[in-house]
Amino acid sequence: EAQVTQNPRYLITVTGKKLTVTCSQNMNHEYMSWYRQDPGLGLRQIYYSMNVEVTDKGDVPEGYKVSRKEKRNFPLILESPSPNQTSLYFCASSSSLAGSYEQYFGPGTRLTVT
Partner 1 sequence: LAKTTQPISMDSYEGQEVNITCSHNNIATNDYITWYQQFPSQGPRFIIQGYKTKVTNEVASLFIPADRKSSTLSLPRVSLSDTAVYYCLVGDTSPTSYGGSQGNLIFGKGTKLSVKP
Say how far apart CA 46 and CA 64 lie, in whole Å: 8
> In this chain, which of 21, 24, 29, 48 binds partner 1, going by CB under 8 A?
48
3-state secondary structure of 96: coil
- Whether the CA torsion 80, 49, 4, 28 is positive or negative: it is negative
Residue 41 binds partner 1 (CB under 8 A): yes
40 interacts with partner 1 by CB under 8 A: yes
Check binding of 33 to partner 1 (CB under 8 A): yes
Q: What is the spatial distance between Cα 52 and Cα 30, in angstroms, rounded to a whole number?
A: 8
- The conformation of residue 82, written as its DSSP 8-state character, comes to -
- Contact letters for partner 1, residues 55-94 (x by CB under 8 A): -xxxx------------------------------x-x--
31 binds partner 1 (CB under 8 A): yes
Contact 11, 110 (CB under 8 A): yes
Does residue 108 belong to the site contacting partner 1 (CB under 8 A)?
yes
Site of interaction with partner 1 (CB under 8 A) = 4, 31, 33, 35, 40-45, 48-51, 54, 56-59, 90, 92, 97-108
